Amino acid sequence: MCWSAEADLVAGIGITAVGAACAVRVRRGRDLPLAALPLLLGAHQMVEAAVWASDGGTGPATLVWSVIALPLLPLWVSAGVLCAAPRHARRRLVVPLAVGGATAVVLAYALATRPVRAEIRGHTVGYVLDVPYAELLIAGYLVATVGSLLLSGDRGLLGFGILATAGALICWAWWRLEFVSTWCAFAAVCSIALFGWVRGVRPLPTGG
């Protein structure tokens, strides 16, 4: 969430470019889902530019943004980390993947059966969706995304997870205070960190 349609569009283009660079530099096929994450984040930013342009509401851009942010992202991240993680860590990563899958199913059902509305709140966009057990879903979301990174067993992904944890807390606090959202900068920094991880990965002959 950025402070204007133009800022979202510029950030989206930049993050997408980082994602393309990540995808091109992947040395192991199993790293591709996670390496392509900035492509998803970049598209997400550009979709939100359309939300700004339509002054919020319940239109197609709001729905697409919500589908990416809510059911898709926890499933994508937890599955991508499981694919990229070293062999010894994969068994424990089944838990975040299962939690992410369950969370995604509940959120997808909510989007299919309830309206989601975007509200322009000064310098931020708020998304309103009535979901049951919201606190439990938030916890599941964090387990699937941040938790999978912290349990990955990979030093680069662990650093990425720590950055994501700090960034999520800052973004949440700033959003609650209705200040200019830090999401653009956070997504960009995370994308650059992921690019650094992709460059540092070396192919292993054993696939471990």
**Mean pLDDT of each 10-residue bin along the chain, 208 residues long:** 81 92 92 94 92 94 94 96 95 97 96 94 84 90 94 92 84 58 68 88 52
Question: Is residue 193 a part of any domain in this protein?
Answer: yes
Structure tokens that stand for 54 in this block: 């339509």
pLDDT of residue 182: 58
Q: Which domain, by its residues, includes 60? A: 5-200
Q: What is the pTM of this model?
A: 0.88
Is the residue at 45 inside a domain? yes
Whether residue 164 is contained in a domain is answered as yes
Decide if 205 is inside a domain.
no
- Crossing angle (nearest 10°) for helices 5-25 and 183-200: 10
- Total tally of structural domains belonging to the chain: 1
